[in-house]
Structure 1
Amino acid sequence: MSAADASTQTKDHSLIVRLLLNVGHGLDHMFLLIFAASVGVIAIDFGFDSWEDLMPYGVGAFVLFGLGSIPSGRLGDLWGRRRMMVVFFVGIGVSTLIAAMSQNAWQLAVALTLVGAFASIYHPVGIPFLVQKSANPGYAIGINGLAGNLGVALAAVVSGFLIKWLGWRAAFAIPALLSIGCGIWFAYVCPAEPEAPAKRKTSNKVQFPPAMVARALAVMTVSAATGSVLFNFTTNGNGQLLLERFKGIVEDPATLGIMLALIYVVASLMQVIVGKLLDRFAVRPLFLSIVLLQIPLFLLASHAQGWWLFAALLGVMVFIFGAIPFVDVMVVRYVDDRMRSRVAGIRLAVSLGISSVAVWALGPTVKSLGFDVMLMVMAGFAACTALVVTMLPREPAASNSEIS
């Protein structure tokens, strides 16, 4: 690589571009969870007997969130990541506005499916775009993960207040307008890419043999699938779990939204810590430790009530969120930047396609078995993730030169 190429490769995005890329991650997760945060009110408005009966109508968003990652990743590498991020901001905003105008469950289901299609752009495109020039990709991914999960927190608290003050349609419409505005701003401040990533002649040198890379990618895909099931079950079900277990203690929707947001904010900080550690240490021991700690906390949450549940749920979400940066760091560490969006897209399609079943099954599972059984099943998924992580090949502690 020439000195000019090296200089271009290490020159990071401007602060405002990085800020908007992180805001985009927050909006991505927020928009996917507005429905879960408002499903109880929407069910009443649409004439359903319970929120559990309406919940399966949201599954299309998560199916497209997964399956759409393949074309999104391909377009990111071949057409350009900047262009795809503009499409993301504007497309997810317009789709969410359509959801705000829906008049029945099927119209809402179609709109949410569109939201999922545009939401599928962010992870295979936005994260590789963010880290492609970063000197400390683990830390960058940790901050980005914090931003994404602050979006999860905002979905709980902002939706709660907007529903209380303006109704559930405003909970969709106001964030939608914000996203469209961010898209216009991003198009203005982010310079055009000289060429699409796949067309570049120079890139990072992968430091590991092909057999190790193949094994790591297999472990990454399976662990991402089980981890996504845990993430989707909890983030889509936690609001109703708090409502059930705090009955007679706290029942105001806005207050419960603040409580849930607090859990997500505190848990999100774990991603920054993990990201920083991943710039210095090998993946496997860190990943395994965090996944193993999920198991007893899920079992505790399955039996806890009131404030004990709050403490257990906080612990569960700390380690679920703490596990998120590992997969993205593995993509950065093992995969050439010219094809990262495509590899990430395929991995996301598999893992999120599987985990979307969790969203479809959440309502019927809770209705027939209850949250206690569901949380014990989640402990089993955490155990499966731990088993898979033990198969990750050993590797030396990462250095910046290896993963940038």
Structure 2
Amino acid sequence: MISRDTEYFLLLNVGHFLDHYFILIFATVAALALSEGWGLSYSELLPYGAPGFAAFALCALPSGWLADRWSRDGMMCIFFMGIGFSSILTGFAQNPFQLGAGLLLMGVFASIYHPVGLAIVTGRWRKTGMRLAVNGVWGNLGVGSAALITGLLIDLASWRAAFIVPGLIGIAFTYPYYIVSKKIRQDSTPEEQGVTSHQNIAYGPKWRVLLCVYMITLLGNVIFQSTTVALPEIFDERLTGLADDISETLSLLTSQSATIIGVLAFLVFAAASLAQLVTGFMLDSIGAKPTILLVMAVQISAFLMMPGLQNLAAFAVSLGFMLGVFGQVPINDFLMAKTVSNKARARAFGLRAMVSFLALSTALPMISVIHVNWGFDGLFHILALCSLTILLGSQIFLKTPPRAASDRSIFQR
């Protein structure tokens, strides 16, 4: 029988999956259905999704403030209900302005999850590294599933169904979450009781740790966004020979290089996302400082090896840097949990989400400028420099916790 604690964590993971899934429905709908149905080009449709993405980031801080002042579980119920309802409304849009309004509302409710859900995960369980890693994998699954399921719903029904069906599912999770979270509050476990008095690991003065956190947030998100956005185009430039060889090996009647390149990119993303589990284990076992050292060393080595590579060698090294890129994801949340008090943690995660938005908005124009002038080899050198800055900064700003404190933090969780 599944324990109540496991049910609670599972529902939080489902929330992370849905959060990333809902925010990416529009991208597939705009590409596959609306541009033809409404007589607008893909580039003309994209601006209508911009307010939703902006709300997704900018409303994170007020969402965290409300959660800290009122109720985190209450905010999660609003998340499930609100994102589902707004998705259904978007599915009934009759023109681009109504669509944009629906997406804006979706962004407002989607902004709830990261500050609130992560505050719950890091505030309830002591093995925060592995919990954050598992939770992150669920979020990645939401990203990977959005295009696949949305495309399937468009083919089976319509683009409206691609918003309405997931919306109904989101609403359906509201009641289970309310019941489970209510029982959790009424019957707190010994593990939860221990967390409330848990003293954070001493990684140094709070201002230095937070400075390190926001440095990693800014540069790490530039690296993350640059690699995840650019990888399909990198593969299109450098893996065409490998794609043709695969087509020939599979005895395909016509060249399917675009499809094969898409599959190769998906395989890299799927395999690399599992690196978060390794990072989570390391964070719980040896702490943040040595984990950052290893993850950044992997990134730097792979980025510096990548220039000039083609086909199988490029594929192998790209898997290496994506392992490092995905592996860095739980680190910031872990440090935040060890530094910020549980009472103010949702607000801290909300502020971090806003910093992430600044980095994400910077990455796309940066890729464009660098690619036009120096190609992707120039981008790899820039990203290696970002990784080196994170490595050096983290080693300077973070203290190594005393051995005894570190041991207690591992075995008393």
* Match in the other structure for 2:330: 325
Q: Secondary structure at the match of 1:279?
A: helix
Give the 3 Å change call, closer, same or farther, for CA 259–186 of structure 1 in structure 2: farther
> Is 1:232–2:225 an aligned residue pair?
yes
Higher relative contact order (CA 8 A, sep 6+): 1
* Shift in Å, 1:152: 1.9
- Give the letter aligned to residue 277 of structure 2: V
Distance 1:129 1:347 in 2: 16
Q: Secondary structure at the match of 1:320?
A: helix
Structure-to-structure mapping, 1:87-102, within 5 angstroms: 87-102=78-93
Overall identity of the aligned pairs, in %: 32
* Match in the other structure for 2:120: 129
* Match in the other structure for 1:353: 357
Q: 2:9 aligns with which of 14, 18, 39?
A: 18
| TM-score normalised by the chain length of structure 1 | 0.79
> Is 1:266–2:259 an aligned residue pair?
no
Give the 3 Å change call, closer, same or farther, for CA 253–79 of structure 1 in structure 2: farther
* Shift in Å, 1:19: 0.6
Q: Secondary structure at the match of 2:274?
A: helix
> Is 1:191–2:182 an aligned residue pair?
yes
Distance 1:58 1:378 in 2: 28
* Shift in Å, 1:329: 0.7
1:310-339 per-position Cα deviation (integer Å, ceiling 9, x unaligned): 544433332211101101111121222122
Distance 2:91 2:113 in 1: 22
Distance 1:82 1:96 in 2: 21
* Match in the other structure for 2:216: 223
* Match in the other structure for 1:385: 390
> Is 1:334–2:303 an aligned residue pair?
no
Structure-to-structure mapping, 1:243-322, within 5 angstroms: 249=244, 259-298=264-303, 310-322=315-327
Conservation of the 8 A alpha-carbon contact between 2:83 and 2:109: yes
* Shift in Å, 1:116: 2.4
- Give the letter aligned to residue 205 of structure 1: Q
Q: Secondary structure at the match of 1:132?
A: helix
Give the 3 Å change call, closer, same or farther, for CA 214–141 of structure 1 in structure 2: same
Q: 2:52 aligns with which of 55, 58, 61?
A: 61
Distance 2:224 2:19 in 1: 14
1:274-301 per-position Cα deviation (integer Å, ceiling 9, x unaligned): 1111111131221133134224545666
Distance 2:373 2:149 in 1: 30
* Shift in Å, 1:273: 1.1
* Shift in Å, 1:151: 1.6
* Match in the other structure for 1:176: 167
- Give the letter aligned to residue 67 of structure 1: L
1:36-62 per-position Cα deviation (integer Å, ceiling 9, x unaligned): 44543257335455x456545433333
* Match in the other structure for 2:146: 155
Conservation of the 8 A alpha-carbon contact between 1:267 and 1:317: yes
The number of equivalent residue pairs is 384
Distance 1:255 1:236 in 2: 17
Unmatched segments (≥5 aa) in structure 1: 1-11, 195-201
Greater alpha carbon shift after TM alignment, 63-72 vs 98-107: 98-107
Give the 3 Å change call, closer, same or farther, for CA 129–312 of structure 1 in structure 2: same
Greater alpha carbon shift after TM alignment, 267-276 vs 242-251: 242-251
Q: Secondary structure at the match of 1:208?
A: coil
Distance 2:219 2:120 in 1: 26
Conservation of the 8 A alpha-carbon contact between 2:28 and 2:151: yes
* Shift in Å, 1:80: 1.0
* Shift in Å, 1:188: 2.6
- Give the letter aligned to residue 276 of structure 1: F
* Match in the other structure for 1:77: 68
- Give the letter aligned to residue 16 of structure 1: E
Conservation of the 8 A alpha-carbon contact between 2:57 and 2:357: yes
* Match in the other structure for 1:205: 199
* Shift in Å, 1:384: 3.9
Greater alpha carbon shift after TM alignment, 232-241 vs 287-296: 232-241
Q: Secondary structure at the match of 2:286?
A: coil
Asked which structure has the greater CA Rg, the reply is: 2
Give the 3 Å change call, closer, same or farther, for CA 381–281 of structure 1 in structure 2: same
Distance 1:362 1:167 in 2: 36
Give the 3 Å change call, closer, same or farther, for CA 108–233 of structure 1 in structure 2: farther
Distance 2:374 2:22 in 1: 26
Give the 3 Å change call, closer, same or farther, for CA 234–143 of structure 1 in structure 2: same
Greater alpha carbon shift after TM alignment, 317-326 vs 383-392: 383-392
Distance 1:318 1:106 in 2: 40
Conservation of the 8 A alpha-carbon contact between 2:116 and 2:346: yes
Give the 3 Å change call, closer, same or farther, for CA 376–153 of structure 1 in structure 2: farther
Distance 1:400 1:92 in 2: 40
Conservation of the 8 A alpha-carbon contact between 2:226 and 2:367: no
Q: Secondary structure at the match of 1:280?
A: helix
Conservation of the 8 A alpha-carbon contact between 1:228 and 1:352: yes
Conservation of the 8 A alpha-carbon contact between 1:99 and 1:107: yes
RMSD: 3.6
Give the 3 Å change call, closer, same or farther, for CA 86–243 of structure 1 in structure 2: farther
- Give the letter aligned to residue 361 of structure 2: V
Give the 3 Å change call, closer, same or farther, for CA 316–134 of structure 1 in structure 2: same
Q: 1:140 aligns with which of 110, 131, 134?
A: 131
